[in-house]
Amino acid sequence: DYYTDAATYAENQAQVYADGRYEWESVWHGGMQRKLCGELALGYLRRNYTQLREHGCLPDGAYLDVFSVVELDECAHPMHRMTRRECLARRCECFDYVRSLGMVVSSEEPIDGMVSHLELVHHAPDFWGKMRGIAVPLFALVYHDSLFIPSYLGRGEGCPREHAGFLYALMQGNLPYLSLHADG
């Protein structure tokens, strides 16, 4: 998200599609936004964490929202062209930078090209929607020793509606998500 009312906003840093279009959104509370070209993300990440350290804020971890779940971008801006392969590399560089600061690295949902750059994710592909066949939790099974994946514990949360999420968490060896009002 690259907010147009930010003091550092510069249109020439926004992602540009091959046909010359910019994407406009106003989904989040920050207001109107475009997408920052991924070629430039590491510079902003370095700036932000340098400023945090200068103000005495030393977080233990960072959640780079949607870096590992949304499609890989391309950018056609002549000053910072980027392919999807380069986008993957830039996002991984951002994860690695966070790790170099001694922080736990997290993002939304894993894709295999990013697993070795993450410690944990918000969720993994699971049993949302209508299933056909037998669902196999590949990320939890294949990457079990290299990625922490939390599970919801309630009925129908991240599993078929009639099943208990707690059992899926046990079966997959996942961390449990607890509500703010957990009673047990």
Q: How far is CA 2 from the centre of its chain?
A: 16
**pLDDT in the model for residue 51:** 97
Mean pLDDT of 25-44: 91
**pLDDT in the model for residue 13:** 96
State both tokens at 111. Answer: 């894709």
**pLDDT in the model for residue 152:** 79
b/e code 75-101 from CB counts within 10 Å (16+ = b)? bebeebebeeebbbebbbebbebbbeb
Which tens digit of pLDDT belongs to each residue from 109-161? Answer: 888 889 999 999 987 766 555 666 766 777 777 887 788 888 878 776 666 66
From the list 40, 55, 56, 44, the residue with the least C-alpha distance to 6 is: 44
Beta bridge partner(s), residue 150: 175
Higher pLDDT, 132 or 65: 65
What does 63-86 look like in DSSP terms, one character per residue? E-TTTTTSPPP-B--TTS-B-HHH
Q: How far is CA 164 from the centre of its chain?
A: 26
Residue 39 reports pLDDT greater than 80: yes
What is the maximum span of the chain, computed from C-alpha positions, in angstroms?
Answer: 56
Angle between helices 84-100 and 41-54 (to 10 degrees): 20
**Tokens 């870096």 correspond to what residue?**
67
Q: Provide long-range contacts, Cβ within 8 A and 24+ apart, for 166-172.
A: 168/127, 168/137, 172/137, 172/140, 172/141, 172/144
**pLDDT in the model for residue 62:** 96
State both tokens at 148. Answer: 């922490």
Rounded distance between C-alpha atoms, residue 108 and residue 123, angstroms: 6
The answer to whether 129 touches 160, Cβ cutoff 8 Å, is: no
